[in-house]
Amino acid sequence: MHRDIATPGRTKEILDKYGFSFKKSLGQNFLIDPNVLHKIVSFAGLTEKSGAIEIGPGIGALTEHLARNSGKVVAFEIDQRLLPVLEDTLSPYDNVKVIHKDILEADVAAVIGDEFAGMEHIAVVANLPYYVTTPILMKLLEDRLPIDSFTVMMQKEVADRISAKPGTKEYGSLSIAIEYYTEAQTVMTVPKTVFMPQPNVASAVVHLKRRSVPPVAVRDEDFLFRVTRGSFVQRRKTILNNLQTSLPDGKERKAEIAEALGEAGVDPGRRGETLTLEEFGRLADALYPKFGG
């Protein structure tokens, strides 16, 4: 058994060896507690038939736990300075591939096809860079990739928005998109002390299980999300006001928007944050003939 990377002493040793300094712009906060990593990996439910995708492996602390518990790991790392470090720290594991690429620009479907042939289960397991958590999740969900689950560390505030329910101040278009694609739960909160350097914010791990079928059937998925995003442009405004602002020529077409709200059984005086996914589905379908396409 190799010495865990995720201890303060070993992390410092590796950073010193390579003269590595953290880049704030990349949101680099490395995990230094093996217990937290054990838990993350156990929530992911990996087996030797699992392919694991990691985003932002850093110096490989989580990567080595994934390598020990899955069939193959593919890690996307944007920071070129970390490539030689990872080559060194992950040298004991022959089932890891590091790709020097921004996940937002990568052809993830092609990578899955090339690297995970014969795997029964594909999971994203990552300590996500906090400044791009939402774009990364939305890309991986909207691209309809064959990913079965996500077990990801993120800022607690984003985790709260992901699992928020209608009528709460955290509830928004992100909550709705996540509910449409997945079943989400926050599985643990994580203290700042398990990171080097310590972040300024609290963290949480969220487990998302991809649904085989969305809970609502709509005419057009992209249009549903246009409507939900448009309904939260200004949280304090009514849904009618927000849709007038966000739909093409909405101000001149107020009557048509009001008519669609009536058809969907949604009071135009309500705020976006009070609508369920089901109600947004009905509303998007009522608006689609007028504003879709």
Question: Rounded to the nearest 5 degrees, what angle is found at the Cα of 253, between the Cα atoms of 169 and 177?
Answer: 35
Selected from 3.40.50.720, 3.40.50.150, 3.40.50.1820, 3.40.1000.10, the CATH number assigned to the domain covering 8-210 reads 3.40.50.150
Question: Rounded to the nearest 5 degrees, what angle is found at the Cα of 33, between the Cα atoms of 31 and 35?
Answer: 125
Architecture field, domain 221-291? Orthogonal Bundle (1.10)
Q: b vs e for 241-280, b when ≥16 Cβ sit within 10 Å of the residue's Cβ? A: bbbbebbeebeebbebbeebbeebebeeeebbbebbbebb
Binding region: 29, 31, 56, 77, 102, 127
pTM, two decimals, is 0.92
Binding region for S-adenosyl-L-methionine: 29, 31, 56, 77, 102, 127
Q: What are phi and psi of 148, to 5 degrees?
A: -85, -35
Domain ranges of the chain: 8-210, 221-291
Interatomic CA distance for residues 158 and 228, integer angstroms: 18
Structure tokens at 165: 């329910």
Q: Which pLDDT tens digit goes with each residue over 32-85? A: 999 999 999 999 999 999 999 999 999 999 999 999 999 999 999 999 999 999
Confidence band for 23, pLDDT divided at 50, 70 and 90: confident
| Pair 90, 64: CB distance under 8 Å | yes
Q: Is 1 exposed, middle or buried (0-12, 13-18, 19+ CB in 10 A)?
A: exposed
In this model, does residue 1 exceed pLDDT 80?
no
Q: Which pLDDT tens digit goes with each residue over 145-186? A: 999 999 999 999 999 999 999 999 999 999 999 999 999 999
Tell me what the mean pLDDT of segment 226-254 comes to: 96
In this model, does residue 205 exceed pLDDT 90?
yes
- What percentage of the chain has pLDDT greater than the value 90? 91
